[in-house]
Amino acid sequence: MLSRHRWLSGVLVLVLGCASAPSQTVAPVPSASATPWASASVAEVDPVEARANELVARATALEPTVTPEVKRLAAKVDGEMVKLEYRLKTAESTARKLRLELEAQPDLDLPTVTLGDSLRYTMVVADTPAGHYVAAVHDTLEALEGLGHAVEKVKNYWPRDDNYSGINTVLRAPDGLPWELQFHTPSSLQVQADTRAQYEELRRQATPLERKRELFERMTEAWNVVPLPEGILEPSALHEHEEIKTRARP
């Protein structure tokens, strides 16, 4: 009788223990469709910003090759590379320019759009002796072609009565990325700095037309004082792709 009592007590304790123990359930692993934040994060990516980041990454990868090349060539023509701290265009500035390109040409295929200045440089060469500036630009572009950089655009903005003077070139690196190289004289570089604020105001869409015309005239007066390099307006003196250009008045 005693053993039966002990047996029943043990069963009762076991039952009570199971009843009081908290239940343990394993939470189901959410499926991909049950994680809305995953799809939301993908949907929220701005395609323009994504393309801007791609271009910045390509320019950053190319820069360690191009910078030593242009510095060596500048020294070879008694020139100097300046504003190297600005050689890489920021992602923000790249995205802003991409949006402007798309506004102007809505049919562009964004994944294939490139900018000419994701990587950009400025070389300063004095026109001493006379004609040296033209020769330096010509020789530098020829040397870059020999290094595998295709010269695609050579814009000669040296004609008088304009709001800017200088040479703006676009080259395409062996990896296919376009990049920019500007050529200035010491005088034109100084006037570019002196008129920078006026240029920024002039290009704003919100600037009234009369104010734009006033700014253009004031800038033209400053640029007309800059000495013209010898032979700079001779057609194709710089390169076969050279275009002698003037900026339209507002």
CA-wise closest residue to 171 among 69, 80, 72 = 69
Q: How far apart are CA 197 and CA 248, in angstroms?
A: 19
User: 165-191 pLDDT, tens per residue?
Assistant: 999 999 999 999 999 999 999 999 999
Rounded (to 5) percent helix, strand, coil in the chain = 50, 15, 35
For residue 86 the two structure tokens come to: 């600005």
* 110, 48 contact by CB (below 8 A): yes
pLDDT band for 44, please (50, 70, 90 cuts).
confident
User: 45-54 pLDDT, tens per residue?
Assistant: 899 999 999 9
Provide the pLDDT for residue 36: 44
Look at strands 178-184 and 167-172 and give their pairing: antiparallel
**Secondary structure letter of residue 79 according to DSSP:** -
For residue 249 the two structure tokens come to: 């008045």
CB count within 10 Å of CB 211 equals 14
The residues that bridge with 88 in the sheet, in sequence order, are: 119
CA-wise closest residue to 192 among 225, 169, 170, 229 = 225
pLDDT band for 7, please (50, 70, 90 cuts).
very low
* 151, 211 contact by CB (below 8 A): no
pLDDT at residue 148 is higher than 50: yes
